[in-house]
Chains A and B, each alone.
Chain A
Amino acid sequence: MAPRPLSRRAFLRSALGAGVAAAVGGAALIARRIAIAAPTPSPLSPHARGGERGGVARYALIIDTTRCVGCGACVKACNIRNNLPGGKSYIRIFPRGGELDRWFLPVQCQHCANPPCAHVCPTRATYRRSDGVVLINEKRCVGCKYCEVACPYQARTFDEKRGVVDKCWLCLDDVLAGGEPACVQACVLGARLFGRQDDPNSEVARLISSGEAKPLHPEFGTQPSVLYYIV
C-alpha cells in the first residue's frame, strides 16, 4: 500500500503544533532576556541559582551555642516581628550546665524533614514545604493541640485568642524576599547562621557536611533543619 498522503486534519494538527512550539520558544527567549536584565537575586532567595538542584532552596539555621550568652535578643526580635503578646515566644532559651560551665540552648521549631506534628495533624493544617520550612495553615487548624503534644521539642504554642496553634515560621516572607529571620538579624554575637544547605559553597552547607553542626536529639528521628554547634 502506498503511503497515505497527509490528510487535511493531520496537516492542520502538525502546523498548529509547530506554531505553539515556536510561540513557547519565543516566550522562553524573551523571558530569558528579562531574567538577564533583572538584578541578580539574593543568594538566599529560593529563585537564586547555584544550589545543587538549580533553584529549589533548602534552608538551614545553625545555632552556635559557644557564642550564645543567653541575652534574649533573638526572643525580643521574634516577639516584635511576630506581634506576640508578653509571656509568649516561639524561642525558649534553656540554661544548661552548672554554675561554672553555664551555656545556653535556644530552642524553636526545628523545621523537621520528618515532622511528627504534620503526621499527627488531623486536618493537614501543618505541612512541610519543599524548602524544608514547616508551616501551619491557620485556616485549616481546628486547635486540637495534638501537634503541640506530639512535638518532641515542645516548640509549639497555643494562641488562645484565635484558637489555633502557633510557632516559628522562619520569618518566611523576609526570607523569600532575600532577607534573614528576625532572630538571626538580632543576634549581635553571630551565634545564629542562616543559609541554604543546598548551596555547596555556603557556610551552613560546610558546617553540616563537616559534621560540626548536629541536630538536637537525633534519636527522635525528626531530621531537623535547625542544627546546633555544641562543644
Chain B
Amino acid sequence: MGQTAWGWLTVIYLFLGGLGAGAFLTAAFFELSGWRYERDYSPTCLTGATVSGPMVALGSLLLIFDLGAGKLQPWRILHMFTHFRSVMTWGIWILSIFIPLGLIYGLLELIEVEPFIRGLAQAWLRPKVRSCRRLVAIVGSIFAVGTAVHTGVLISAVGPAVPLWSQPLLPFLPVPLLPVLFLILAISTGLGLSFDLTATIALRGIHEQTRSLRSVQVRIMSLIRIILISLETVLITLLFISALNAGGAAAESARLVLYGSFSVVFWVGVVLIGLVCPFLIYAYVIGVGHQPLLLGLISGLGVMIAGLSLRYLIIAAGIPAFL
C-alpha cells in the first residue's frame, strides 16, 4: 500500500486549494476578457470571486488541523515562514498573499449585488470598483496560478522518496509532471464550479424559454474545456507510462491505480465521469451551440469529482521507494 503519513485531509486541502485557485482564475478571465459585461455572465464572476478566498482559507485551515504540534501551539506556525529552501515555506507565503486577495476580490464582486456591502464601501470607492477589480484580478491571477502549481510542487518535491510523485514531464525533460497536471486540474475544477454549475443554473432563469445557456461564449468555453480535458488525458497517460517504465515502486503505484485496488476509482471516477462524459457533453455543446441545464450539471460535477478522485489516487498510491 501507499505511504501513510499523508491521508484524506491532505487530499481535501490540495483539492480545495486547486478549486479556489481555479475559481479565481475563471472569474478573473471573465472579468478581464470583458465577457462579464457583454453578456450576463456575472453569476460566474460572482461565484468564482466569492468562493476562491474562503475555499483556499478552508483548505489552509484543514492544513493546520493536519499539523501535530502546530495545531496545539499555533505560534509555531510562524516558523514555517522562515526556511526558503523548503517548498512548503514558499506555499505558506503564496497562500498568505492569495487568501486576502481572494477575499478582497469576493468583496469587490459582492458590492455589485449586496446592498449592505455597497453601503459599507466608502463613496470614493464606488466609482472605482471596476478598475480595482481588474487590478485585483490581474495580481491575484499570478498567485492563483502559484497556489494551483504549488499543490503539485509540494508533493513532487519529495524526490526519490516517492517515485510516482516525482515523475518527469517528459523522459528528457527534468521538470516534474504533477505541478502541470494539478494546474490544469485546478482550472478544470474551477470552471466546473463557477461556469458549468453556476452559469447554467443562474442563466436558466435568464433564458427561461429555452432552459439552456446559449451564446458564442458557451461554444468558446466548451472548446477550452475540450482542450483542457485532452491535456489532462495526455498528462495522466504520460504519468502512468513513465511510472510503469521506471519500474520499482513507481510501477507498483501505477499498477495499483490501473488494475489494482484503486482501479474502480480510476476508471469510473476519473476516466468515465471526469474525462469521457464531460468530453462528449462539450463536443455536443459546440455542435448545438447551447448548454442544457442537466448537461451543465453533469459536466460540472464530473470534472470536480475527477479532480478530487485523481488527487486522492495520487496521494494514496504514492508508494515509498524504500520499504
- A219 to B, closest residue via Cβ: B160
Known interface pairs A154-B323, A158-B5, A217-B322; A122-B88 also in contact (CB < 8 Å): yes
- A164 to B, closest residue via Cβ: B69
Complex Cα–Cα for A151 and B321 (A): 10
- A150 and B89 contacting across the interface, CB-CB below 8 Å: no
Q: What's the A-B contact tally at a CB cutoff of 8 Å? A: 109
* Complex interface residues of chain A between 106 and 161 (CB less than 8 A to chain B): 107, 116, 119-125, 138, 140-146, 148-154, 158-160
Q: Is B162 an interface residue (CB 8 A)?
A: yes
Cβ of B321: which chain A residues have Cβ within 8 Å of it? Answer: 152, 217, 220
- A152 and B159 contacting across the interface, CB-CB below 8 Å: yes
Cβ of A153: which chain B residues have Cβ within 8 Å of it? Answer: 322
Known interface pairs A149-B158, A152-B159, A152-B322; A163-B69 also in contact (CB < 8 Å): yes
Q: Which secondary structure characterizes the binding site on chain A?
A: loop
| Among B67, B85, B89, contact of A163 (Cβ-Cβ < 8 Å) | B67
- How many chain B residues touch A (CB < 8 A): the figure is 32
Cβ of B77: which chain A residues have Cβ within 8 Å of it? Answer: 142
User: Chain B 68-82, CB within 8 Å of chain A: the 1/0 string?
Assistant: 111110001101101
Known interface pairs A122-B79, A143-B69, A154-B320; A116-B158 also in contact (CB < 8 Å): yes
- A148 and B5 contacting across the interface, CB-CB below 8 Å: yes
- A123 and B80 contacting across the interface, CB-CB below 8 Å: yes
Complex Cα–Cα for A217 and B295 (A): 52
Closest 6 CB pairs of A and B: A143-B68, A163-B68, A142-B70, A123-B79, A122-B88, A163-B69
B residues whose Cβ falls under 8 Å from a Cβ of A? 3, 5-6, 66-72, 76-77, 79-80, 82-83, 85-89, 92, 157-162, 320-323
List 27 contacting pairs A-B, 8 Å CB cutoff, sorted by A.
Answer: A116-B158, A116-B160, A120-B87, A120-B157, A121-B86, A122-B79, A122-B82, A123-B76, A123-B79, A123-B80, A124-B79, A142-B68, A142-B80, A145-B68, A149-B3, A150-B158, A152-B160, A152-B322, A154-B322, A158-B5, A160-B68, A162-B68, A163-B70, A164-B68, A164-B69, A165-B68, A217-B322
16 further contact pairs, Cβ within 8 A, besides A141-B76, A144-B80: A116-B161, A122-B83, A123-B76, A124-B79, A142-B67, A143-B69, A143-B71, A145-B5, A146-B86, A149-B6, A154-B320, A162-B69, A163-B67, A165-B68, A217-B321, A220-B160
